[in-house]
Each structure stands twice: as C-alpha cells, then as structure tokens.
Amino acid sequence: TITTPCERIIAAAERTNRLNGHENAGFLSKAAGFAPLHPTTSLPPPHAAWDTLASALPHLVQTQTVRETITNMPVLDASPSALPDKYLQRAATILGMTAHVYVRMQGSEPLTQKYASHRDILPASLEIPWTLVCKRLGRDTPSLTYVDGVVANFTTTSKTSPSAVTLDTISLLVPTVNTIEERTFIGIMIEINAKTIPIIHEIIHSQRAVLSRNPPALKQSLHSLLALLKDVTRSLSKLNANRAYRGHIDPVLWTLTVANLGIPWVKDAVGAAGTAHPFFHMMDEFTGREKYGTGIGKEARVVREMYPVHWRGFLGAVREVSVGGYVAEVVKEGGDGDGELGELWTALKEAYHGDQGLLGFHRRKVFGFLAVSFRIGRSTTINGLGRKRRAEPWMEADSELDKARVERRGMGEGDGGGGEGGEREGKGERVLMVSELIRHNSEEMGYWFAAQGSVYDGSGFMMKHPGGDTVMALCSGQDVTESLRAVGHLTHPATRKKMEMYRIGRLEGPKLASGQVKEMYLAAVELGQKAAEMENVYRRNFQLLDGKLTVLDEPEVLTAKKARHLLDAKNRLQDEHVPAMAMLLDALLERMGEFDGMVDVRAARAEMAGLVAPERTLGTATRYENYGMAVDTVQTDLGRLTEVKECVAMVLETVEDQGFTCSDHSRVQAMMDTL
C-alpha cells in the first residue's frame, strides 16, 4: 500500500502530540483534522481567575466595566513552572479574546489607530502573561490567532465523530457577548473545519490514486470532493441576515460586536480574518494555486508563516503531489477516454474558486454584511480593507476579495458572466424622478431603489432578499447600480429576471436647456441622496436599541454598551455627516447664486460655515440616561434628517416641473426660502 505525503505528516503529528501530551505544535489528526482531539476546558487552580474572567466577559461588556476589572486583576505567573504546557492553548484563547475585548468593546480608540506595542494600551495584568504564553507557543509577538478565536474555542455535544460537529451542537468556550451573532459567525467557521475532515481523507485518496497512476480511483475521489465542497458552501449559507430565516443574524448587531473584535491595534500585525481558515489554504494547495500577488494573497502568505508547525507541514505535503498536473498528463496522453476526469477536475476548481462557486458565494455574502457595516460607522476590516476608498469602502473590500479569487484561477481578469442589461427605453411606461425616489426609503413610503436607469420597488422583497432586509433598507432611495454590478446581479440571468418582477418604471431627469440649471439640479440630487442615505443609516439605531448586544440584554433596557454606541452614532452624525451635507448644501446655494443675481445667497452661505467646519469638540453629544430618552432622541434626530430630505425633494420637484426656467424669479426665491 502506498503511503502518501499527507499520511506521513499526519502520522508524525499524531505521534508528536501524543508524546508531548498536548497539541501545541498544531491540531492535526485523521480523526479530527485541524480540530483539537482533546480540548482543554479549564485551567489549574492558580489560574482559575482567568477562567472566571472568561465566563464574565458578556457581563463586563454589557456594563462597560471591562477595563476597570482587568486593570485591577493581579499579574498571574505564566512561566512553565506555574502553567504547564497542556494549558497554554486555553490560556492563549482566554488572554487573546480578553485583550481584544479590552481594546475593541469598551474604548473609544479609532479602529485604524495603531500602537508600537501592546503595552501602550494593555494593562500589565493582561500584557505580561499574554506575551509569555504566546512566546511559549512559538509566536514572535502576542496575537489572537485563528486557532485561538475559532479552532480551539468550542466544545460540542456531538457524540458521534468530530466530522459531525455542526453549528447546532457547539458551545463557545470563551464567548465575548454570547449572542446569536457571535455563536453563528464563529460556529459556522467551526462547522466548516469539521467538514474539512472528510475532505482531508479524500485528498489522501487522490494522492494515492495519482501515485499509483489510477485514473478510475482519482475520478471517484474527485466525485466525492465535489460533493463535499458543495456541502461546505451550504454551511456558509447559514450565515444569513434574512429575518425569515431561522437563526438569522442582525448585521447591525454583528457590526457592533463580532465584526470589529479581531481588528489588530499594533503596527504591522495581521488579524485573524477568514483568510486564516486552514480549509482555504488546503484547497489552494490542492487546486494548484501559484500566485499570491494580491493584497489578500500576500496576507495569506504571512498568515501561513504563523501557522503551527504541523499545519505548515501538512500544506506542504498537499502540494507535494500535483493532482492537476497528473490530470493534464492523462488527458494529453489520451488516457481520459470519455473526458470525465478532465471535466471533474474543472468542475471541482469551479466549485471552489469559480464566480458561482464557494469563493464567489463567499464574496457576495461578505459584500452584504460589509455594505451594512461600513455605512453605520465601521472604518476598516480585520485585514485593513476599506481605508483607501472614502466613498463606498465596502467596494474596496469586494474588489480585493474578487482579485484574490481570480488570482487563484491563474487569470488576469474576471471570469466573465452574462452581459448587463442596459438602460431601457419604453414608451408608455411610468417615468419617475429623483424627487420621488429619495422619498421612498421607509416602511411608510415603501423601499425603492434605482439601477441602470430603472426604478424598482423592493418593499415586497424585503423579507425574501437573501442578504437580508437591512442592506435593502440602507440602499433605498438610492441609485445602487455599482453595488448590484459588484455582486453580479446585473449579469446573472436568474437575478435579473427576479429584479424585473419588481420594476416599476424608469428614472429620468428633467430636460433642462440651461447649463446653470442643470448644475443646480445635479447639486440638489447629490444633497437629496445624501440626506436619504443619512436617514437610512440613523434609522438603524432602532435595531441597536431593540436588539441584543450581549446575551444578558433585556427588552427596553438601555445598557451601558448600547448607550456608548448611540453616543458614537450621534457624534458621527454631528461631526461627519452634518458637515458633509452642509458642504453639499453650500454647493447648491452657490449654483443658485449664479442665476444672474436674482437671489442673494451670501447670508445663507455664511450660516453654512459653522456646519461645514464645526468648532464643537468631538464627543460632546447628549448623554443617554434611559431607554425612553434614547428613543425620543433618535426619533427627534431622524425627524430632522427627514425634514432636510423633504426640503431638497421640494427643490427637485420645482426644477423637474416642465415649466421651470431660471428666469422665474419667484420660483427660484421660493426654493431659496425652502432651503
């Protein structure tokens, strides 16, 4: 019997871990794959305070007493004489998760702020033992790795085998808030790790088939791998923001808890993003990935260097046998009589990195969550994406994910798809103007959006949308052509057909003879859409108020953590969004002032100066004392945003009237009075 490279590495890892009495060199076994065989669920008595701390994290987050509690803790000894090796992984998980809770779930430091070292922000009770624990695990600097936060962070009620572990059978060992958002997000990654186990076995079978030059056996393995890969995609589909789906997660609550937790704060540190999952690295090697030149590709290389030694050895063993090379050889020599082997290999690669495969599905899934996340205040992803593009930063993240997917295919550009449907011209169909579009962004008015010159009423699709109703609500009243293009909705035939069911007309602008009026109209359009966008964003505060940021939250109770996020949203409105809208209003007034001096806008523009560049100190917004006060304040602010949008809509309506001319002094003055 041929022993494959993967089998040799696994056998060596099992032997080493057994002799060591722990799995610190890397979880790797035939029975559990990349998951632990014997997870440690508690520390020895001298370190029981860390176990207590781990169980208290949801309460500390809810009450915003994380920093006070940890700062007052004693510095526990993490040396080998005090903390045996077999407890290191649990200690790394507790200390790493706690460090990230300390920085990301209570402080006001910007997500993009970087420090020279951990001691610049962490207290000694956390920084000193965490540094030593990580050093003993072979890490150059303290870091929360994917192993700590995901792979080793669970127990299961499954009594059959490690490969049977699912989202429904796990409990997190160190939950930070223990909400459905956290349990689902981390749990799905754990489930995918469990589904990796039979894939490892089939990779071994594939290697054996290649080494024994047995095409029929390889076909059988590829058939199995194709089915297993589709099963992984089904697991990923459980990450669902649609409220009609049992076990759905709220992308707003996800953003304010889980999403930002893993972002590193030390310069040049790499966070534990999805690129760190061993499944993706294994599939990259098996499918013969050659290039790692994209930003995410380079990050994958860095992450792999940080992998435990057994994982690195296994990935090298996967690459040692080129299944793709053997398939090409068989096809070239005419040994693939019916063409099935070549077709299977192509189908497997498409199922992994094709646009409609796992990575394409993953990219579209991520897009929906990030489109919500960045709109409500997130400034970067775990791996630093979103900072280069001020407008629609989620598009940067989407672009980088797709570049990495295409890079795996060995292609310079995207892998195509169907053509886009262009703007339509239809006689007798309903013609809609921007003034109508921006007004339809609420439950009362309905949820409209525009794309490629068409207007759609998404009100009846909100609870059916695979990406959830939150992202649709945030996009309502807007032209979302670029977003729909990014996720492939404009080129996918079935999606375009579905969109046509909700099409209600075409979007048109007024026919304006004067260039001056056209410039004024476009300035008003930009302001109106910005006002509608801000209204959409600020309305999400009700999801925050009525949702659970920790498992301990109760209905209609304002917790300290909720109050903090409401304060952040209020400050962001006053310090970022109001000045942005004021600048757009100033530009509109300037255009109006060019109408041959018919109206004097100098006084109004002077008033804008205080809003464009506010002198108010950041962070001085209203303090929230209770739930009722918070609801009233959000409703008041939202009402003001609605008023702004309605004023601009009235200006747009005036210009959209076919009888409007810039020489109509009374109507221009009326618009000025409205603004």
CATH topology of domain 45-408: Methane Monooxygenase Hydroxylase; Chain G, domain 1 (1.20.58)
pLDDT, one tens digit per residue, over 436-474 is: 999 999 999 999 999 999 999 999 999 888 889 999 999
CATH topology of domain 430-508: Flavocytochrome B2; Chain A, domain 1 (3.10.120)
Specify burial of residue 41 (Cβ count, 10 A radius: 0-12, 13-18, 19+).
exposed
Of 460, 453, 465, 394, nearest to 429 by C-alpha is 453
In angstroms, the CA 170 to CA 176 distance is 15
Q: Identify the pLDDT of residue 480.
A: 92
- DSSP for 204-226, please give it: HHHHHHHHTT-HHHHHHHHHHHH
pLDDT, one tens digit per residue, over 260-297 is: 999 999 998 888 888 899 999 999 999 999 999 998 99
Q: Identify the pLDDT of residue 659.
A: 64
- The total number of residues shown for the chain amounts to 675
Q: Identify the pLDDT of residue 576.
A: 84
Average pLDDT score over residue span 202-216: 97
Q: Are 439 and 445 in contact (CB under 8 A)?
A: yes
CA distances from 121 to 127, 267, 652 (A): 9, 13, 50
Residue owning tokens 């930003």: 295
Q: Are 419 and 315 in contact (CB under 8 A)?
A: no
DSSP three-state, residue 175? coil
Which of 79-88, 376-385, 654-663 shows the lowest mean pLDDT across its residues? 654-663
Q: Identify the pLDDT of residue 668.
A: 67
Q: Are strands 441-442 and 170-172 parallel, antiparallel or unpaired?
A: unpaired
Q: For residue 617, is pLDDT > 70?
A: no
- The long-range contacts involving 240-246, CB below 8 angstroms and separated by at least 24 positions, are 240/466, 240/468, 241/368, 241/369, 241/372, 241/467, 241/468, 241/470, 241/471, 242/463, 242/464, 242/465, 242/466, 242/467, 242/468, 242/469, 243/463, 243/468, 243/469, 244/463, 244/464
More confident residue, 393 or 601: 393
Parts of the chain belonging to CATH 3.10.120.10: 430-508
CA distances from 614 to 41, 459, 530 (A): 52, 38, 19
Q: For residue 318, is pLDDT > 90?
A: yes
Residues in a beta bridge with 115: 266
pLDDT, one tens digit per residue, over 479-491 is: 999 989 888 888 8
Q: What is the mean pLDDT of the chain?
A: 89
Percent of the chain whose predicted confidence (pLDDT) is above 70: 90
Q: Identify the pLDDT of residue 606.
A: 62
Conformation bin of residue 473: beta by default, left when phi > 0, alpha when psi is -120 to 50:
alpha
pLDDT, one tens digit per residue, over 31-45 is: 999 999 989 999 999
In which band, very low, low, confident or very high, does the pLDDT at 419 lie, cut at 50, 70 and 90? low
Token code pair at residue 427: 């006689």
In angstroms, the CA 252 to CA 270 distance is 25
Helix axes of 340-353 and 323-332: crossing angle, nearest 10 degrees: 150
Q: For residue 310, is pLDDT > 60?
A: yes
Q: For residue 426, is pLDDT > 70?
A: no
Q: For residue 560, is pLDDT > 80?
A: yes
Residues in a beta bridge with 450: 455, 479
Q: Are 504 and 457 in contact (CB under 8 A)?
A: yes
Q: For residue 635, is pLDDT > 90?
A: yes
Cβ contacts of 170 within 8 Å, gap of 6 or more: 154, 155, 156, 157, 183, 187, 190, 191
Percent of the chain whose predicted confidence (pLDDT) is above 90: 65
Average pLDDT score over residue span 84-88: 97
Q: For residue 613, is pLDDT > 70?
A: no
Specify burial of residue 442 (Cβ count, 10 A radius: 0-12, 13-18, 19+).
middle
Q: For residue 415, is pLDDT > 90?
A: no
Q: For residue 620, is pLDDT > 50?
A: no
Q: For residue 607, is pLDDT > 80?
A: no
User: Phi, psi (5° rounding) for residue 446?
Assistant: 100, 165
Q: Identify the pLDDT of residue 619.
A: 45
Q: Please, what's the b/e burial string for 444-479 (b: 16 or more CB within 10 A of its CB; e: otherwise)?
A: eebbbbbbbebbbbbbebbeebebbbbbbbbbbbbb
DSSP three-state, residue 616? coil
Q: What is the pTM of this model?
A: 0.91
In angstroms, the CA 277 to CA 282 distance is 9
